[in-house]
């Protein structure tokens, strides 16, 4: 967490304290909050939105981006990856950003663990990579379906646009070219897709109802992301 995020968290706590039934305590908290807001030139959006950083590989890994795209959409967050250290950053309303980060880490660990169990140790690196991509793609499909049933679904587009606008105003983003993956190992992909059905999503996604998940066109996903 950087210094500005620490200040923003302190202001949020002071503003919450300013609603205390103790009038003296509330007044002091509000005064301190306003001092920090003025000193650091914070506006409403700066306090509303929070960024969560999740460490990842410095080398671009396609299947991790598939997962990041899915969870950022699910939780109405803007997502970007820092090219210098590979860190994924999810920006959205405080709870949304927290949940996106938690879900991302959970799914990354689950895919890595599944690959260790399901793929033989002497398998080629490409086979292991394609298994993970297949699993990530299946989870992408399931999350898209799950997301439509969430209570916040009607407000998703508006929240995504607001988060994106906030990031554009406050963060300098650098475009970079990503090499497309070709020559997929279909056996590895199919095996990964199958394992993607076994991952528990409902609990992590806020107790949404269990759904009958339909297959979607994975070629479309690959075309958009790579």
- Indicate if the pLDDT at residue 28 is higher than 70: yes
CA distance 18 to 26: 4
Report the percent of the chain where pLDDT is more than 90. Answer: 37
Question: Has residue 24 got a pLDDT over 50?
Answer: yes
Q: Is pLDDT larger for residue 49 or for residue 226? A: 49
Q: What percent of the chain has pLDDT over 70?
A: 81
Cβ-count burial 198-226 (b if 16+ within 10 Å, e if not):
ebebeebbeebeeeebeeeebeebbeebe
pLDDT at 85 over 60: yes
The per-residue pLDDT for 50 is 85
What would the pLDDT profile of 154-177 be if each residue is shown by its tens digit? Answer: 889 999 998 988 888 776 555 555
Cβ atoms within 10 A of the Cβ of 114, count?
A: 19
Across the chain, which distance is largest between two alpha carbons, in Å?
A: 68
Angle at 110 between CA 109 and CA 114, to 5 degrees: 120
The predicted pLDDT at position 176 comes to: 53
pLDDT digits (tens, 9 = 90+) for 207-224: 433 333 233 333 333 333
Q: Are 182 and 130 in contact (CB under 8 A)?
A: no
Model pLDDT, residue 224: 36
Does 74 or 172 have the greater pLDDT score?
74
CA distances from 214 to 139, 158, 206 (A): 12, 26, 21
Query: pLDDT tier at 143 (50, 70, 90 boundaries)?
Result: very high
- What are the percentages of helix, strand and coil residues in the chain, rounded to 5? 60, 5, 30
Residues 78, 91 contacting (CB under 8 angstroms) = yes
SS3 15: helix
CA atoms within 13 A on the CB side of 209: 5
Q: What is the pLDDT of residue 6?
A: 82
Domain boundaries, the chain: 3-42, 49-225
Confidence check: pLDDT of 122 > 60: yes
Which band of pLDDT confidence, cut at 50, 70 and 90, is reported for residue 23? Answer: confident
Mean pLDDT of 119-146: 93
Higher pLDDT, 23 or 221: 23
Q: Does residue 3 register a pLDDT over 80?
A: no
């Amino acid at each position: 967490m950087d210094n500005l995020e620490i200040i923003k968290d302190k202001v949020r706590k002071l503003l919450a304290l300013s609603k205390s039934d103790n009038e003296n305590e509330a007044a002091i908290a509000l005064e301190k909050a306003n001092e920090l807001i003025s000193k650091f030139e914070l506006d409403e959006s700066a306090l509303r939105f929070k960024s969560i950083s999740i460490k990842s590989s410095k080398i671009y890994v396609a299947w991790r981006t598939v997962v990041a795209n899915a969870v950022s959409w699910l939780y109405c967050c803007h997502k970007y990856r820092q090219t210098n250290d590979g860190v994924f950053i999810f920006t959205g309303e405080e709870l949304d950003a927290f949940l996106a980060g938690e879900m991302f880490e959970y799914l990354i660990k689950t895919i890595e663990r599944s690959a260790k169990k399901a793929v033989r140790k002497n398998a080629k690196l490409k086979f292991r990579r394609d298994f993970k991509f297949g699993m990530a793609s299946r989870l992408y499909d399931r999350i898209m379906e799950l997301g439509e049933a969430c209570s916040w679904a009607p407000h998703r587009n508006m929240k995504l646009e607001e988060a994106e606008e906030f990031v554009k105003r406050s963060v300098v983003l650098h475009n970079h070219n990503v090499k497309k993956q070709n020559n997929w190992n279909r056996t590895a992909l199919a095996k990964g897709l199958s394992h993607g059905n076994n991952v528990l999503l409902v609990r992590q996604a806020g107790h949404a109802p269990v759904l009958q998940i339909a297959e979607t066109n994975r070629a479309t996903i690959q075309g958009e992301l790579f």
